[in-house]
Every structure is written in structure tokens, then in C-alpha cells.
Chain A
Amino acid sequence: METVTQTIQGVPLNHYIILSAVIFSIGVMGVLIRRNAIVIFMSVELMLNAVNLLLTAFSAYRGDPAGQVFVFFIMALAAAEVAVGLAIIVMIYRNTNSTDINVLNRLKW
């Protein structure tokens, strides 16, 4: 029976890297361009998961489980972060009746 590792190794490593880079770049651009706080938040998640994907791929190719352990940590952390982040966004919405981050322009000297 083919193991998961072998399945992953069925695709060349370059493909994983390119995919991750693309997803990560999409995330970065999303963060930079979009004004809606929730979309920005989702873009951040995209970046995180791009990294997760890469970690898993490397882990499989090197036969080292440490990478996958990292992924679990990151997922747990992301869950916590989502909870806090969404709470902040809810508070922003309550205060400004919008999720547009350009409204929050007082963070300056």
C-alpha cells in the first residue's frame, strides 16, 4: 500500500515550492491591496497555510517528521489567533460600523 509520504513524493518538490510561493504571494498582495479587514485576515491565513504546505512537503521529502509537528503547532496557533483577530474585527465593526481599515488612521504621531 502506498503511504501518504510516497503519495506526496509522487509530485516533484519544485511544484510544491512554486504552489506555496504563489499562494503566499497572493496572501501578501491581498494584505497589501484589500481594505476590508476580514479579507486581509483571510489573506494572512493564506500566507500561514502556504508555509504549512511547504513544511509538510519538505518534511515528507526529507523523511523528517519535525516539519509536520511544526505544522500542527502553527495550526493550533492560527486557531488561537483567529479567535483574537476576529474578536478585534468585531470590536472595530461595533465602533466604526465598517470593516474598512482606512478608517483606522489614527495610529500615528
Chain B
Amino acid sequence: MSAINLVWLVPLFPLIGFLINGFGRNVLPKSIVGLVGCLSVLLSFGLSTAIFFELEKSGATAYYVPLFNWIQTGSLSIPFSFQVDHLSSLMLLIVTGIGFLIHVYSIGYMHHDKGYAKFFSYLNLFVFFMLLLVLGSNYVVLFIGWEGVGLCSYLLIGFWYKNSSYASAAKKAFVMNRIGDLGFLIAIFVIFRIFGSIEFGEVFTKAAEMKVGSPVMVLITMLLFVGATGKSAQIPLFTWLPDAMAGPTPVSALIHAATMVTAGIYMIARSNVLFMLAPLTMNVIAIVGLATAILAATIAITQTDIKKVLAYSTVSQLGYMFLGLGVGAYTGAFFHVITHAFFKALLFLGAGSVIHAMSNEQDMRLMGGLRKKLPVTFITMLAGTIAISGIPPFSGFFSKDEILANAYEHNKIFWVIGVIGAVFTAFYMFRMMFLTFYGKFRGTHEQEHHVHESPATMTIPLIVLAVLSIFGGFIGVPEVLGGKHWLSHYLAPVFTNKAAGHEVHHLDHNTEYMLMTISVLGAVIAAIVAYVRYTKKHHVPVPDHASRGFLGNLSYHKYYIDEVYDVLITRPLNALSGLFYKIIDKAIIDGIVNGLGKATGLAGKGLRLVQTGNIGFYIFMMVAGVIALLFYSFYKI
């Protein structure tokens, strides 16, 4: 039996793992819980690998695997079916592969936690929904997974729900996601209204006949993009992602690397046929992506919490991916999804290892000099840092360069801003490395005494991810550097439009060399500046209350965006809710209900006086009633 027909098993394994761990969370020993959690994802990974090779061997573009007819009413038909093509098979590998490593890492990281089994069951559920999202062959199945990962992110961010600020971070993530989800949902309705179907294949076939730039396509793609901004943390809905750091570190890695935030990019890449028909939306996507990239990068350079730096770097990198999508470089954007999954998972897990070693300290001002004590963590994180900074031949270089080259071709200003963002990226990442691993130890004696390298379950995933971060870029070496760009050939059937695959060829080689040199030089210089500032001069970021200057303050306080949202949205909303509570709810609705109750009471009070106890009177009333009834039946008054 071919592996592709068994594709339904891929999401089923994590679901079974979730059920076992979820129901057995109070009885199963920790060893079994960890084994079930990891094994379920490993099985999925194995099957995904088999599917990947089978798909490549068969040479077909896509397989459609129907499971059952889910909703059938009138002209609406929603089958529960999966679609296996090159895009989804790659996503399967990323989700299950990185997911598996994160599961293994969690065995070590969460070992002391009371909610160990709960944690693993949530992780499995998360992977399950993400796989559903990736595999669905229509927008509704995709939407189930979409909502599911939103739910799981809520559960996991608020995993330590007893801390009220963590719980509200979870709520924030959920609410922000809901805003985006609404856009996505409306987009699905509009798609059904226009095309009469929500199956990818049918919609894309019918869409191909539409005119480029027709208003309805702009509407659909804009709504889809709103959905993507929520899930993939773009302006204006990005503020939940940095707060999502409240969850345990493996969760951050899972959300930021393998699942969740890539969902929006996957969705847009999947709907590329629709987006190519709406150049207006593409421009909006590119500009929003670029703005997010640069905004998040400037925030990240002053953050002192190691996870916050990484969180904003994720937002920034997602911005690059959207820039890539916006300029039509779907392959480049997806390439960056893959490499980013490698190095961001690595960096988060490395940060988790540091935090673990530092007895849950996350403030980089209190770290330093950990290089000798955490050698494995240091080396692997260094690999991740070089990769994200875009220094060749590490993976980030190839993917970022492809996006930037496409941006250059599209609009030179995009490229300039993109490179500035990339320089910032290199600076803040090396700043983080130097603050954490170089210099003198700045924490307490007790912490210094405790510092230890993490157990093998945590370091092995780090090493694997480091190897992937270093060599992962070779799947997409551009022709200018003598490569074949395997990825763009692989994904070509999915991105059939002319602007999708081979755009790099439009630039002549000298221009490309120049672009690469500039961005690499920028990154290296930024790294050197960071080295001089934080290692040679032993500069340590000032305490919270100290003055930073205008720009520093702006950046450190995240451009006061949360405060702005608070003033512009939260407070008016609260005031409106208060108004509704006082007037609509208290006065009108409660008034009606209480009034009815009171009226009944008063009527009873009055009517009971009729009951005098005089039997003659009772009988008289009865006779009068009978006569009245007789009159009624005779004359039908």
C-alpha cells in the first residue's frame, strides 16, 4: 500500500498521543508520557518522509485523498479530504521533524514540571492541528487546523496559568488571533459565494479565468491577508507574539518555528493563484511585511530579555517572508520558512537551555560568560546566530538573499530597507550572543554555582538543529553561486505562475554579486560593532528605569504600541462595554425582566383580595363565569 494513501495516519498519530497523555495524565509515569509524546510525532515524521520520497518518485503534482463527506447541504459540499503535493509534503516534514526535536527537548526541559503529561498532550494536539492545517484540501479543513493551533497556542502560552500575567498573555494571543480569523472566515464565505466551492483545486481553476486586479479578487486576498496577519504576527496584529513568551520555552520554539506562525505564510503560498490576480494586495503585503521587519528589528536591538529578543526577531523574519510573498517570490518566502524553522527552533531551544542553566533567569543583563560553562549550547546557538544574520554559507544567507534579490528587482527601496533590517538583525543577534556568552558572569553567586550544561535530551536536538541550520541552505543554492536551486524546481508545480519560481534569473550576475556582498558586509560589520560594544567595552544595557535617550526609549518600550492600542482600542472598547452594561443591560434588559416579575407580583397582590372566603361569592363568580362563557360561545364576541 502506498504511503500517500495512508496520509491520514500522519495527523492521527499525534491525536492518539494527545488522547493517551490527556486521559492518562494522572496515572502514567513520566517516562511513558515522554515516550508516547515523542513516538507519536516520530511515527508521523517517518510516514511524512515516506510520503515525501514517494511523491518525488511518482512525478505527479498532487494527490487528493478523500476521507469522508463531512458537510453536504444544498449546493454546499465540504468533504473532509487531504491534499498531498510538494508544498504540503515539505510542510509535513518541517512540522513533524522540528516538532519531534522539540518534543525530545521538552523531556529534559519540563522534567521538573507538575503538568508534564498535560504539557505533552497539548504539544501533541498542537502538532495534530498543524498537520490538519497543512494537509487539508479545502479552506474549511485548513480553517479547522487554523483555529486548532490558535486554541493550542492559548493553552500552551497560558500553561503556567497561575501567573495572571501569563494567563493574560494567552488571552491576548487568542483575541489577536480571533481578529485575524474573522478576516479569514469572511474570505472563505466570499470564496464560496464567488466560486461555489471551497476546494483548492476547483477554486484555483475557476480563479484562473478571472481578470487580474478585479475588485472581488482584491477583496478575497485582502481578507485572507488579514487572517495571515493575525496568525503570522504582522502589523497591526503582531503584539501577541512577543507576549507569547510567557509559555514554556519549547512552546515558544514550536510556535515560532515549526507551527502556528508559518500558517499564515503557508496559507498565502497555497492561495498564490488568487494572490497573483490581485497586484494591489501583493503590494500591501510587501509593504506590511517590510514595515514589520524593520519595526520589529528596531525593537529587538534594545530588549534585555533573551526570549524577547528572539520573539521580535521572529516577527522581523516573518516580515521578510511576507516581503518575499508580496514581491511574488513564493519560493524564496517558503525557503525562508524552512531555514527559519531550523535556526529559530535552534535559537529558542538554546535560549531555553540557557534559561534552564540560569535557574529560570531570562534577563541578559544578569548573564554573561556562559561560553565555557555551556559549550554545546554556545556553539549551536552561534551557528543559529550566524545563520539568522545571513552570513554565508549558513542557511539564512541563501533564503534571505533570495528574498532581497527579488525585492530589489521589484522595487529598489524595498531592498534598501530590507538590507537595513538585515543589518539590525545581525546586530541584535550578536548582541544577544555577546551579552549571554561573553564577558563576566553578572548573576548571583547561587546562580553561578548552579550553572550546568543541559542533559542529552536537550543538547541532542540542539546539535541536530545546528547541523540543519548550517547545511539547510544548500537545498536552494542559486545558480549564480553554482547551485541548482533544488527547492524552486521542487516547488515549481505548486507555484505555477511565471513570477513564482525562477525570478532570480532576471538579474544579471554582477548585480546579484553586488547585492550579496552588500548585505553580507552589512551583517559582518554589525556583528563586529556588537562585538566591540558588548565584549571589548563591556557595555551592559542600563536598568529598566534609567534614561536611554529618545530613540532608545522608543525602541525599549516597543514604540509604545501596546499603550497606543490600549488608548485607541482597549479603553474605548471598555468604555463602550461599560456604557452597554449600564444602559442596555442594567437599565433595559434587566428592567424588562425585573419589571415583568414585579408586575406579576403586584397583580397577584391585587387579585388575592377577590378571594374573600365567602362561599356565596365564589359560587356567584362561578355562575357569572359560566354565563360569560355561554355568551362567548353563542355570540363569538
Contacts and interface: CB of A to CB of B under 8 A. Distances in A.
Interface of A: 28, 31-32, 35, 101-102, 104-109
A101 B615 contact: yes
Contacts of B616: 32, 35, 101-102
A98 B614 CA distance: 16
Given A31-B619, A101-B616, A102-B614, 12 more contacts: A28-B623, A32-B616, A32-B620, A35-B616, A102-B615, A102-B616, A105-B615, A106-B613, A107-B613, A108-B611, A108-B613, A109-B608
A32 B619 CA distance: 7
Nearest to B627: A28
A108 B612 contact: yes
A108 B620 CA distance: 15
Interface in B609-637: 611-616, 618-620, 623
Contacts of A109: 608, 611
Interface of B: 608, 611-616, 618-620, 623
B105 to A, nearest CB: 76
Contacts of A104: 615
B612 A105 contact: yes
B623 A32 contact: yes
A62 to B, nearest CB: 22
Contacts of A107: 611, 613, 615, 618
A108 B608 CA distance: 8
A9 B577 CA distance: 83
A108 to B, nearest CB: 3
Residue in A28, A31, A106, A109 with the greatest tally of chain B CB atoms within 10 Å: A109
Contacts of B615: 101-102, 104-105, 107
Contacts of B620: 32
Nearest to A31: B619
A39 to B, nearest CB: 12
A101 B619 CA distance: 12
A43 B620 CA distance: 14
Contacts of A32: 616, 619-620, 623
Considering the complex of A and B, which 3 residue pairs feature the smallest CB-CB distances, nearest first? Answer: A108-B613, A105-B613, A109-B608
A32 B624 CA distance: 11
Contacts of B613: 105-108
Contacts of A31: 619, 623
Nearest to A103: B615
A80 B320 CA distance: 98
Nearest to B620: A32
A28 B627 CA distance: 11
A41 B612 CA distance: 22
Nearest to A101: B615
Contacts of A108: 611-613
17 contacts: A28-B623, A31-B619, A32-B616, A32-B620, A32-B623, A35-B616, A101-B616, A102-B614, A102-B615, A104-B615, A105-B615, A106-B613, A107-B611, A108-B612, A108-B613, A109-B608, A109-B611
A80 to B, nearest CB: 21
Contacts of A106: 613
A105 B614 CA distance: 5
Contacts of B612: 105, 108
A8 B208 CA distance: 96
Nearest to A105: B613
Nearest to A29: B623
Contacts of A35: 616
A53 to B, nearest CB: 19
Contacts of B611: 107-109
A28 B619 CA distance: 10
A28 B622 CA distance: 11
A39 B221 CA distance: 91
B262 to A, nearest CB: 73
A50 B611 CA distance: 30
B621 to A, nearest CB: 10
Nearest to A104: B615
A32 B622 CA distance: 10
Nearest to B626: A28
Contacts of A102: 614-616
Nearest to A34: B616
A106 B623 CA distance: 21
A88 B619 CA distance: 18
A105 B616 CA distance: 10
B561 to A, nearest CB: 67
Nearest to B624: A32
Contacts of B623: 28, 31-32
A2 B299 CA distance: 120
Nearest to B607: A109
A106 B612 CA distance: 8
Nearest to B611: A108
Nearest to A28: B623
Contacts of A101: 615-616
B619 to A, nearest CB: 6
B190 to A, nearest CB: 64
A1 to B, nearest CB: 41
A101 B617 CA distance: 11
A65 to B, nearest CB: 27
Residue in B608, B614, B616, B623 with the greatest tally of chain A CB atoms within 10 Å: B616
Nearest to B609: A109
Contacts of B614: 102, 105
Contacts of B618: 107
A82 to B, nearest CB: 19
A79 B74 CA distance: 68
